[in-house]
Amino acid sequence: MKKIFVAMLITLSLGTLCFAEETKKDAPGAAPAASAPVAGQPVATNAPAVAVTTPAAVPAKAIEDKGKLKANPKVTIPIFLIIVGATMCVVVWSAKQTKSASDFYTAGGGITGTQNGWAIAGDYMSAASFLGISGMISLYGYDGFMYSVGWLVAYITVLLIVAEPCRNAGKYTLGDILSFRTNPKPVRAVAAISVVSVSTFYLTAQMVGAGKLMQLLLGIDYKIAIIGVGILMVGYVVFGGMTATTWVQIIKAGLLMTGAFVLSVLVMLKSGMNPLQFFRDIATNERIIDHVKLLPIYLKEVDAGTATADAGQRFLEPGLFLTNPLDQISLGMALVLGTAGMPHILMRFFTVPTAQAARKSVIVAMFIIGSFYILTTLLGFGAAINLSPQNIIKVDAGGNMAAMMLAKTLGGDISPFIGDLLLAFLCAVAFATILAVVSGLVLAASAAIAHDIYVNVIKDGHADQHEQVLAARITSLVVGVVGIIIGIAAEKQNVAHLVALAFAVASSGNLPVVVLSLFWRKFNTAGVISGLVVGTIASIGLVMISPNMTYPNKVADDAKKAYTKLEKDIAEGKIKPEAMEKTMKTIDDKKAVETKNRGGKSMLGLDKPLFTLKNPGIVSIPLGFMAAIFGALLFPSKRSEEMFDELYVRQNTGIGMAKAIDH
């Protein structure tokens, strides 16, 4: 029966791609939204509008049809099918290995440290990282690189605080760790709600990113792309469980590193493999200089007389994008601490056989992720040199297609086919990247519902292996279907704030209670519940009144500024006759946008943000810790204190790990 279902999944998935190719009829090459937002501060949605001047003579083979980037379907579709086919073969093999709840949730604890390190890297290096950070660097230089540092430093927290203790003290989920010495039912219920919330926020952003990416690159209909991703992720999780998800993540990480490495070599060849020449090319590039001169922050520095370098050198200095130091600190806190509280990352430590393997997996992941972000730095700066920021903005306002454009341009310098091949490969890798991440998220959410809620709360722990696996598969299917529905419904929504929500909740709600559960003797049920509830509500509430949300009046004001500037240019004779028709159409469009949004309110009925930071970490993380501490002190529990010694021994030695939550 499993083989029949898997065969149906393969047929549906491949059919989705083929049908999409046949049904696209001159679909627009450039979607208005970002391919996938980067955590905390989305690239596409928050990137300031930069005036685009007439392009100088730069390599721009990636730019076709007046600012459209299109992949060659004759090359792209076969590569897609090969990758999808290979991963579905993994599912068929994994389905045979998945017989118990332990197999489904943790691959039976049989993943090695090295394999788990690659899988963690695959789980963590999302399409937002690959496309968003390289794009940010191509438009804002140094700040994009500094943005990526937070992702790497985050794993030091994971290594030093949670990797080994979580592996030794837990079994399948976050609820297992928190319920060891507390009242299991209420703690598991609240923990499950938190896990599902974080997973849903992040899953929705990834699903929308998948749809926009395929729409942008291949002209595939958004809904078809979402359904295709959904079918595949459901297949990976429902039939293969953690084993299939792990190997999909490993395959994807290998492909992503390969693509980034090849493209980075091509970038460095342009500068003679000389790092000094590479940065000299950046600082002296006329198009980069023109771009920086039009950035609002640089204009303010010039007006105030505080500009410390010429525009080219300024591109290699901080402050073009991350202009608010407090916002940088808040974002850094959310990234560094939020990673250690992300449920799909925590689950990975239950898949290894020993604590030593857990530590090794983090070190391997840090090495891979660090190497990857070095490569994205080369890609971002390489795109700025070889494409120009102005041409990158033409294709996508947030720069998220910079790496894709670079692949087609540099490959096209060798031959048109190589350009198409590189672009097709990176398209397929970005697609596989999203699949790997959403599969991990679906597995984490379904584990929270099936294992924590159904098995341990509803069934009071009395469920045989067959019933547990069946519950896990049914919930995975339901979560996957819900993910597809939400992804389709959110097509025209700004989902950037969902990524901020995911990391904010993980850092403000999950992390405080995990750390205090593992290391504070007096921590108890009241502390867990108050920490999770206050941290989650505070982080969600602050994001909902932050600049991440859409404020229609601000949209209207920005549109008015844009068309007023164009009308002034027309009056001063700055618009060429051949561009007049296009300019008038832009003015009409901007006026329509102003009319549509003027007088509107945000989702919470606000005209402007009440909380000015884009990420609430600097406020919500301390609130989560304080609530957890005060809750535990106000309602002390002698039983929780007495059981701390047993938990302490388990988390440091692994003794009794298999029975850690069977009480």
* Low-confidence spans in the chain with pLDDT less than 50: 1-67, 658-663
Residue 359 belongs to a domain: yes
CA dist 51 → 390, 466, 565, 625 (Å): 8, 61, 11, 45
66 is a domain residue: no
Count other C-beta atoms under 10 Å from residue 509's C-beta: 35
180 φ, ψ to 5°? -55, -45
* Spatial contact of 364 and 386, defined as CB atoms under 8 Å apart: no
In a domain, 158, yes or no: yes
Nearest CA among 62, 593, 159 for reference residue 370:
159
Instruction: For the chain, give the mean pLDDT.
Output: 79
> CA-CA-CA-CA torsion for 581, 586, 588, 592, nearest 10 degrees?
160
Q: With beta carbons less than 8 A apart as the criterion, state whether 348 and 120 touch.
A: yes
Q: Is residue 185 part of a domain?
A: yes
Residue 351 lies in a domain: yes
- Per-residue b or e along 218-253, where b marks 16 or more CB atoms closer than 10 Å to that residue's CB: bbbbbebbbbbbbbbbbbbbbbbbbbbbbbbbbbbb
**DSSP labels for 94-130?**
HHHH--SHHHHHHGGG---HHHHHHHHHHHHS-HIII
Distance, CA of 496 to CA of 504 (rounded, Å): 13
Q: What CATH number corresponds to the domain at position 442?
A: 1.20.1730
Backbone angles phi, psi at 66, to 5 degrees: 60, 55
- pLDDT for 271: 86
Domain that holds residue 348: 2-38+77-272+320-491
Q: Using alpha carbons only, give the angle 317, 319, 323 rounded to the nearest 5 degrees.
A: 175
288 found inside a domain = no
In a domain? residue 632: no
Own/partner long-range contacts of 640-649 (Cβ < 8 Å, ≥24 apart)? 640/181, 640/182, 640/522, 640/523, 640/524, 640/525, 641/521, 641/522, 641/524, 643/180, 643/181, 644/181, 644/521, 646/181, 647/169, 647/180, 647/181, 647/517, 647/518
Domain count for the chain, please give it: 1
pLDDT at 45: 32
HSE, side-chain direction, 13 A CA sphere, residue 463: 22
Distance CA 250, CA 114 (A): 10
| Type of residue at 330 | S
Tell me whether residue 504 is in a domain. Answer: no
List the structure tokens of 414: 């060798």
640 contacts 525 by C-beta, under 8 angstroms: yes
CA separation, residue 235 to residues 252, 454, 590 (Å): 16, 22, 44
Report the C-alpha gap between 102 and 40 in whole angstroms: 34
| Residue 660 exposure: Cα atoms within 13 Å on the Cβ side | 30
